[in-house]
Amino acid sequence: MKTIFKHIKGDRAIWAIVAILAILSFMPVYSASTNLVYVVGNGSTTGHLIKHIALLIMGFGILYGVHKIPYRYFSGGSVLMFPIVVLLLIVTLAQGTTIGGANASRWIHIPFVGVGFQTSTLAGLVALVYVARYLAKNKEKEIVFRESLLQLWLPVGMVLLLILPANFSTTAIIFSMILILVFIGGYPLKYIANILGMGIVALGLFILVVKAFPGLMKNRVDTWEKRIDGFINSKEAPENYQVEKAKIAIATGGAFGKGAGKSVQKNFLPQSSSDFIYAIIVEEYGMMGALFVIFMYFLLLFRIVIAAKKATTIFATLLVIGVGLPIVFQAIINMAVAVNLFPVTGQTLPLISSGGTSIWMTCFALGMVLSVSASKHETEESILDDNPLDILHETI
């Protein structure tokens, strides 16, 4: 054990939380995958568990590797990565896939791995680091709105517009997190109001264009409308089947649940091992299991806040907040959907739901948080004066 601790740096409480959540995911994923096996006819339960464990091991490899990188490299790295993620989003949007007759162009296929990569999660991470860099660089300057439109909001807006057609919920989460980050970073409140207004107008124009030319986006706006209508009028909405089954699972869980692997609704609930895995956890482990999962995420939030407060530079503080808060925010949304407090969004439960991209990007983000918590003597100038090309040269 001492040998392991010698190689890991940063907040050990975060390491422990990540490990506990990962281990806790084994039985729910194994149990819930019966839906994929016996209803969809995809593989075996053991196969799904092995795949999930392999993805987690890869995720921990990413976590370990990233936490060893001095966090100052993430500042210039975000500038280098921005054109790459824009290109990836364009490719993803262009080639896409169709699921159930609806446009779901969110993934690109990774050859030889057999896993789809959701480019929007990487793009959101890069965008948040880029925003943290901009805010730190301009902390002591008077921000001119027109200049910030070109330097900050134009590239960020480009990313959001490329994610929006296929994934409204992810776009909304990233935009919300960016607004929170710029507020914390001291961006003028009146400018934030302007950006929020521009975002609402842009969304309205997008909906009008899609309504006028429905063939462009494969009825994505119709899907959004059905989900919102299903949330408001749940009894009358036939597309709210998933939520109804999730509510049954939660209602029958009781205080201590039915026991590991004894869920009934996993056989009827689509996406039971990913989007709605929290409902299966409640059914099998009851209210005690549900509260324990919530406690772990709020403990993670607490440690992220501690890491942000202990950070020695403005960029480090904003980086931890920018990449750490979305993890907890996503978890809250996933659990809120399962208990019918929020419309269906398609967001997974970080580190617990099956799925490669979600696990990898969560580990990447937490790796950056751990990199910050492991650093001791950084200065703002040493971070923000880094030339992105110099960082590329050092990396090569």
What is the C-alpha to C-alpha distance for residues 143 and 164, in angstroms, rounded to an integer?
Answer: 28
The whole-number pLDDT of residue 237 equals 55
Q: What is the mean pLDDT of residues 110-133?
A: 83
Q: Considering the chain, what percentage of its residues have pLDDT values greater than 70?
A: 80
pLDDT of residue 21: 95
Pairing state between β 102-103 and 98-99: antiparallel
Give pLDDT, residue 103. Answer: 44
**Of 17-26, 59-68, 343-352, which gets the smallest average pLDDT?**
343-352
Confidence of residue 102 (pLDDT cuts 50, 70, 90): very low
For range 193-216, the mean pLDDT: 84
How much is the mean pLDDT over the chain? 83
**When comparing pLDDT for 99 and 304, which is higher?**
304
In this predicted structure, the answer to whether residue 142 has a pLDDT above a threshold of 70 is yes
Q: What pLDDT does residue 396 have?
A: 37
Q: Residue 98 — pLDDT band, cuts 50, 70, 90?
A: very low
Look at 395 and 97; give whichever has higher pLDDT: 97
Residue 149: partners with Cβ closer than 8 Å, 6 or more residues away: none
Specify whether the CB–CB gap between 324 and 297 falls below 8 A: no
Global pTM exceeds 0.85: yes
Runs of H (alpha helix) within 72-137: 72-95, 119-137
Ranking 20-29, 91-100, 282-291, 352-361 by mean pLDDT, the lowest is 91-100
| Cβ atoms of residues 304 and 324 within 8 Å | yes
Q: Do 35 and 265 form a contact (C-beta atoms < 8 A)?
A: no
pLDDT at res. 2: 62
Region 148-155: mean pLDDT is 93
What 75-79 contacts at long range (C-beta under 8 Å, 24+ apart), as own/partner pairs, is 75/129, 75/132, 75/133, 75/136, 75/315, 75/383, 75/384, 75/386, 76/386, 76/387, 76/388, 76/390, 76/391, 77/129, 77/388, 77/391, 78/126, 78/129, 78/130, 78/132, 78/133, 79/130, 79/133, 79/388
Q: If you average pLDDT over residues 188-214, what whole number do you get?
A: 87
Digit-coded pLDDT (tens) for 209-233: 877 776 666 555 566 666 666 666 6
State phi, psi for 110 to the nearest 5 degrees.
-95, 115
Name the band, by pLDDT with cuts 50, 70 and 90, for residue 151: very high
Contact (CB, 8 A) for 372 and 71: yes
- How large a percentage of the chain has pLDDT more than 90? 48
Residue 171 DSSP symbol = H
Averaged pLDDT, 360-376: 92
Query: Burial letters for 318-347: b for 16+ Cβ neighbours within 10 Å, e otherwise?
Result: bbbbbbbbbbbbbbbbbbebbebebbbbbb
Q: Are 96 and 104 in contact (CB under 8 A)?
A: yes
What is the average per-residue pLDDT within 292-308?
A: 96
H/E stretch holding 335 reads helix 314-338
pLDDT tens, position by position, 177-187: 999 999 999 99
Predicted confidence at residue 215, as pLDDT, reads 64
CA angle 149, 347, 251 (to 5 degrees): 140
pLDDT at position 26 is 92
